[in-house]
Amino acid sequence: MTRFVIAGNSHVGALLQGMSLLAEQDPALFAPTAEPGRWTVGRDSLEFVGLGSGRFELEEFSTTIAGRVRFTGQYRRSLLAKTGLRDIGPSVVWGFMNVANTARIFQQPMWKEYAPSALGRIAGRTPLTEQAVRAILRADHAPARSFYAQLAQAGARVVALEAPRPQAGHPSLLDDDDRRIARHLDALGRSMWHDWLAGHSVPRVEPPSETIGSDGFLRPELRRIGRNKYGKPDHNHGNAEFGAIYLPRILEAMTAVAGAQAAA
């Protein structure tokens, strides 16, 4: 039996909800257990662990002690409370949802005054060079990059999971120029992550193409309808249907990682 754990920021919630839909479709393969957030998938076990807000990814959230990777702060407390695990060790196959969370970039007020120069002239906005835009994205990626570098060094069995595409109705996107900028930042950020993860031999999974609309944003019917913990409408997360579409691809990648080590 292989123990699979999908952990990360608030986007893990849609995957957990998607598991319930998959179980309705194929109860012989997917079955809940008595423990919240834990399922059986055939002869394997699968756990969903919400570690906390993506805001904790804006600074270093992991460390290495005696060759084993550990979370720090809120993520450490959440992992221990929900799984009993202190380390991110090789006995588990991990999927971490903390890649390409670009909403926290494009919603910044600076993009009302600036725009990537790759988009050409946009009235009322000062062009930023590609080098400057990449530097902004690298700064956002830095703590998670450090985390994956630690995992690669420790030999952890891990898959990096991308967040869903942004939502066209995000309140910071007031017009077509805002949406052009958001799409550009999202595409560039994902491309940078693809290159970096490939360079460190970390497999990744991106949301399937059927979750993306013709406009490049998350399909409207796949967005979560509700309010976030602050009581405001949710403009960032996918819904259960999104999770049900995405989860099989994630399980396929995690199973491949498990099989690769077994064959080694």
What b/e readout covers 50-63, taking b as 16+ CB neighbours within 10 angstroms?
bbbebebbeeebbe
In contact, 14 and 242? CB cutoff 8 Å: yes
pLDDT for 64: 96
pLDDT for 257: 96
Q: Rounded distance, CA 28 to CA 42, Å?
A: 8
pLDDT for 264: 54
Where along the chain do its domains lie? 3-100+141-167+203-263
Give the distance from CA 258 to its chain's centroid: 20
pLDDT for 227: 76
In contact, 89 and 155? CB cutoff 8 Å: no
State the pTM of this model.
0.94
Angle at which helix 12-25 crosses helix 240-263, to 10 degrees, equals: 90
pLDDT per position as a tens digit, 40-64: 999 999 999 999 998 899 999 999 9
Q: What is the CATH number of domain 3-100+141-167+203-263?
A: 3.40.50
pLDDT for 115: 98
DSSP H helical ranges for the chain:
12-25, 73-83, 103-106, 130-154, 176-199, 240-263
Taking the chain (264 residues) in runs of 10, the rounded mean pLDDT of each run is 96 97 95 94 96 92 95 96 94 96 95 98 97 98 97 96 96 96 98 97 97 97 83 88 98 94 58
In contact, 179 and 173? CB cutoff 8 Å: yes
